[in-house]
Chain A
Amino acid sequence: MAPRPPVEATGAGRSGSAGNDAEQRLFRRTRRCCPTRQWLRSGKIASRSLRDVGKVPSIERDRGSRLRNYEAKRGETMNSLTFDRTNALCGGFFILAGLLFGYQSLTVDLGSWLRIGPGGMPLVLSGLLVLLGAIILIQAARTEGEPAGRIAWRGMVFILLAPLIFGLTVRGLGFVGSVFITALFASFASYRMKLWMAFALAVALAIFSTAVFSYGLGLPFERIGPWLR
């Protein structure tokens, strides 16, 4: 068993309620053995990661990040004005999702009590989601949060785009080429992958999957697509 990680102190005194404690444990669970703990203790990373949390939706990435940074720093020093950014974002996300789904369900028939239409249940659930989001948001204002930790930006770019690339090329390049490109692209998600290794791995995967999936299991994919002919 990993040694129990020490309580991460984020500089400011926590007014953690029971629920907040549980969340912190979940957080620790997911990120055992964290080398940044040293920084955390010194409070150095807290402001940085808090800023990152604000960035997560990445819609408005840089706009106002300086302000957020300032706010985060202020939150560290002023105990009275603390609030959990992660939970605030979480509540906001659920409210937004609820509103979107709610709007969508209004466009279809709601029905009556007797015959609930296709929009009935989605509307009720959306309302519930907005309500729950609001509760999370309100609770966030009362507790001090913990930073969400490092975010795998590079991993996100390469890993999330890999299935897209497969989807975009599988019809044109065909199965073999598409697997090769997808694996090659995904390889760069790691800082440690070297170019020749990525190439070797992608070639090996293309050969292996063609043998297993195309010849072995007989999946009906075109091996060489029209782009290469």
Chain B
Amino acid sequence: MDLFSNLALGFATASTIANIGFCLIGVLLGTLIGVLPGIGATATIAMLLPITFQIGDPVSSLIMLAGIYYGAQYGGSTTAILINMPGESSSAVTAIDGYQMARNGRAGVALATAAIGSFVAGTIATVLIALFAPPLTAMALKFGAAEYSSLMVVGLVMSVALAHGSVIKAIAMVVLGLLLGLVGQDVISGAPRLNFGLTQLGDQLNFVAIAVGLFGIAEILRNLEEERTREVLMAKVTGLMPTREDFRRMTAPILRGTALGSALGILPGNGAVLAAFASYTIEKRASDRPEEFGKGALAGVAGPESANNAGAQTSFIPMLTLGIPANPVMALMIGAMIIQGIVPGPNVASENPDLFWGLIASMWIGNLLLIILNLPLIGLWVKLLKVPYYVLFPTIMAFCSIGVYSVNSNVWDLYVVALFGLLGYFLLKLRCEPAPLLLGFVLGPLLEENLRRAMILSRGDPTTFVTRPISALLLAAAVAVLVIVLLPSVRKKRDEVFVEEDG
């Protein structure tokens, strides 16, 4: 069967000594920075992105990048459980019951449950990716320029729909991102544009510089607003092994969480976050002891952690098959691919099968490494939690500067970092989320290219987007989503969902 030969190729690629090494480094670095206070997964990846470019081979560098991604997620859950400080929004739910478990002296069990849940979810999601990616790729290969443009519009609209806060602001951020993506040289005519006369910027704004500025620097500044001592009140982590009773009680939540996460992860927007919250709600309803929730329920850790991890994995599906990023992390992955000279989209599977399947296989290997390594290393991570923040950010700034400069050896990229750090912080203060901007930035040039090509193919007839059936369907979906999000009644519901997230 095709699936097995493909997976065999993947595992053959991913299990070379070098690639396992890079996966290991990625997972460790990701966990390390994920555990460090005040830096989320997206910022971590943005900052470590330049380092992965030093590896010549695109397969290895993407494997390492993916490793950083789930390593950082894992690190986020660790801090959520131990010090009630979710490293990122998707582990915010884990903190509810995980921290309570830790306070009841069951920190070890909570950590183990999170690790086991993540691993099971990761394994199932890997199989799902292997199953669903080829048919989706085959479908996407039939897409013309018009369909592609419409598909990207759908992706952007979904990212707006699932963003926090005001819908209008999110749309404005997408548009601003698209515009920033077009700064530099026009792909088709080669004419310089929108660069305010600064030819030093090169033919495009440096993606790494923008990501580091928007996510890394802006986050540091936000943390500097209020410097407070974090009290690391931690019980000793003992008794890692869950009892048989624990295993029995975590099975169903893990499986339900995995199913939910896999489904929501494919959707553009941050499906993994939504999945974690949805899973918590479902577990609370399904439990025979709902009163335990909020006071250290095992299911409240197992379900959301599995959902979160499954969602994180399946969000690779649209990225790998369609070249459409589902969340800012995937946007970073696409940026990394472009810099490595790979054109994202359905052709990746046929032109770079080793990369495609190697990456999928490496996800499973990465999850395995995490469960093997991290449980024994928890003592080390706990120590890291005590590193004061004022030691961290000069270090981050030095590494960011070196990293960004190392991509092109262009000092202007460093000025772009500073500028976008300022812009990112400013927008944060205006309550605008940076994620839609980054998605717009990545998709801007692709969208424009396809749009213009579609117009040439249709001989200048703009109705081509609505007369071609698939394109019309996609656009109708985009409009429907937009209308639904803007409807007052739905808006209230959507707000309620986010209330639960924040609560």
- Are A and B co-members of a single complex? yes
Q: Is B194 in contact with A202, judged by CB distance below 8 angstroms?
A: no
Q: Is B172 a contact partner of A94 (Cβ separation < 8 A)?
A: yes
Q: CB distance B432 to A90 under 8 Å? A: yes
Shortest B12–chain A CB gap in Å is 27
Whether the pair A182, B397 counts as a contact (CB closer than 8 A) is: yes
Interface residue B95 (Cβ < 8 Å from any Cβ of A): yes
Task: Mark contacts of B471-503 with chain A using CB atoms, 8 A cut-off: 1 yes-contact digit, 0 otherwise.
Answer: 000000000000000001001101100110011
**In chain A, what residue has the closest Cβ to B431?**
A23
Q: Give complex CA distance A151, B428 in Å.
A: 11
The answer to whether A192 touches B390, judged by C-beta atoms less than 8 angstroms apart, is yes
A87 to chain B, nearest CB (A): 8
> Given A217-B54, A219-B54, A114 and B414 touching (CB < 8 A)?
no
> What 0/1 readout, one digit per residue, does chain A (38-73) give for beta carbons within 8 Å of chain B?
000000000000000100110000000000000000
Q: For A26, give the chain B residue with the smallest CB separation.
A: B165
Interface-lining segment among B348-356, B364-372, B375-383, B416-424: B416-424
Residues of A close to B220: CB separation below 8 A: 155, 159, 189
CB distance from B39 to the nearest CB of A (A): 14
Interface assignment of B1: CB less than 8 Å from any CB of chain A: no
The answer to whether B95 touches A1, judged by C-beta atoms less than 8 angstroms apart, is: yes
* A101 → B minimal CB distance (Å): 5
The answer on a CB contact under 8 Å between A115 and B456 is yes
The verdict on B147 contacting chain A, using a C-beta distance below 8 Å, is no
- Where chain B touches its partner, the secondary structure class is helix
A171 in contact with B411 (CB, 8 Å):
yes
Which residues of B lie under 8 Å from residue A105 when comparing CB positions? 193-194
Query: B418, A163: Cβ atoms under 8 Å?
Result: yes
CB distance from A94 to the nearest CB of B (A): 5
Closest chain-B Cβ to A14's Cβ sits at a distance in Å of 15
Cα distance, A29 to B422, chains bound together (Å): 20
A229 within 8 Å of B (CB atoms): no
A79 within 8 A of B: no
B138-146, B178-186, B238-246 - interface stretch: B178-186
Contact A113 B460 (CB under 8 A): yes
The reply to whether B495 and A21 form a contact with Cβ atoms under 8 Å apart is yes
From residue A188, how far is it (CB to closest CB) to chain B in Å? 9
Does any Cβ of A come within 8 Å of B233's Cβ?
no
Q: What is the bound-complex CA distance between A136 and B196, given in angstroms?
A: 26
Chain A count of residues within 8 A CB distance of the other chain: 97
B95 cross-chain contacts in A, Cβ below 8 A: 1-2
Instruction: Tell me if B402 counts as interface (CB < 8 A to partner A).
Output: yes
- A121 and B462 CA atoms in complex are apart in Å by 13
Is B414 within 8 A of A167, CB to CB? Answer: yes
- State which residues 165-220 of A face B: CB under 8 Å: 166-168, 170-171, 179, 182-184, 186-187, 189-193, 197-198, 201-202, 205, 209, 213, 217, 219-220
Q: Does A89 reach chain B (CB closer than 8 Å)?
A: yes
| Contact in complex: A112, B460 (CB < 8 Å) | yes
Q: How far is the CA of A186 from the CA of B296 in the complex (A)?
A: 41
- In the complex, which residue of chain A has the Cβ closest to the Cβ of B172? A132
Interface size class of B (residues with CB under 8 A): 35 or more
The one of A22, A201, A221 in contact with B391, judged by C-beta atoms closer than 8 angstroms, is: A201
Q: Would you call B462 and A159 a contact (CB within 8 A)?
A: no
Residues of A within 8 A of B400 (CB): 163
Complex: chain B residue closest to A154, CB-CB:
B224
CB-defined contacts of B495 to chain A, threshold 8 Å:
18, 21-22, 25
Are B167 and A133 neighbours in the complex by a CB distance under 8 Å? no
Decide: A136 and B395 in contact? CB cutoff 8 A: no
CB 8 Å contact bits of A109-120 with B (1 = contact, 0 = none): 100111111111
Query: B132 at interface (Cβ–Cβ under 8 A)?
Result: no
Contact of B414 with A166 in the complex, beta carbons under 8 Å: yes
Contact of B164 (CB < 8 Å), options: A26, A33, A128: A26
Report how far A28 CA is from B399 CA in the complex, Å: 30
**Would B398 and A183 count as touching, CB distance under 8 A?**
yes
Cα(A87)–Cα(B169), bound, Å: 9
Q: Is the CB of B393 within 8 A of A114?
A: no
B222 within 8 A of A: yes
Out of A29, A93, A117, A152, name the residue touching B225 (CB < 8 Å). Answer: A152
A104 pairs with B196, CB closer than 8 A: yes
Q: Which residues of A contact B24 (CB under 8 A)?
A: none
Contact A164 B164 (CB under 8 A): no
Contact B394 A125 (CB under 8 A): no
Alpha-carbon distance A105/B406, docked complex (angstroms): 31
Q: Which residue of A lies closest to B180 (CB)?
A: A101
CB atoms of A22 and B456 under 8 A apart: no
Would B225 and A56 count as touching, CB distance under 8 A? no
Contact between A129 and B176, CB atoms less than 8 A apart: yes
* Residue from A29, A125, A132, A160 within 8 A of B217 (CB atoms): A160
Q: How far is the CB of A150 from chain B (nearest CB, A)?
A: 5
A22-B179 CB under 8 A given contacts A94-B172, A205-B398: no
Residue of A whose beta carbon sits closest to that of B89: A29
Q: Given A18-B492, A105-B194: A29 and B502 within 8 A (CB)?
A: yes
Contact flags (1/0) for B100-116 with A, using CB distance below 8 Å? 00000000000000000
Which one of B69-77, B305-313, B447-455 contacts A? B447-455
In whole angstroms, how far apart are the Cα atoms of A149 and B466 in the complex?
Answer: 46
Contact of A22 among B54, B89, B166 (CB under 8 A): B166
Q: Are B389 and A190 in contact (CB under 8 A)?
A: yes
Show the binding face of A for B, using Cβ within 8 Å. 1-2, 4, 18-23, 25-31, 33-35, 53, 56-57, 86-87, 89-90, 93-94, 97, 100-101, 104-105, 107-109, 112-122, 125-126, 128-129, 132-133, 135-136, 139, 148-152, 154-156, 159-164, 166-168, 170-171, 179, 182-184, 186-187, 189-193, 197-198, 201-202, 205, 209, 213, 217, 219-221
Beyond the given A30-B428, A109-B191, A167-B405, please list 6 additional residue pairs across the A-B interface where CB-CB is below 8 A.
Answer: A18-B488, A29-B89, A90-B169, A108-B186, A114-B459, A149-B225
7 pairs of A and B residues whose beta carbons are closest in the complex: A114-B460, A155-B224, A118-B186, A167-B414, A190-B390, A166-B401, A167-B411
28 contacts between A and B (CB under 8 A): A19-B168, A30-B222, A31-B226, A34-B226, A93-B426, A94-B172, A105-B194, A114-B455, A114-B459, A115-B456, A116-B451, A118-B189, A118-B191, A148-B429, A148-B430, A151-B429, A152-B221, A155-B224, A162-B398, A163-B217, A163-B417, A163-B418, A163-B421, A166-B405, A186-B394, A189-B394, A205-B394, A209-B398
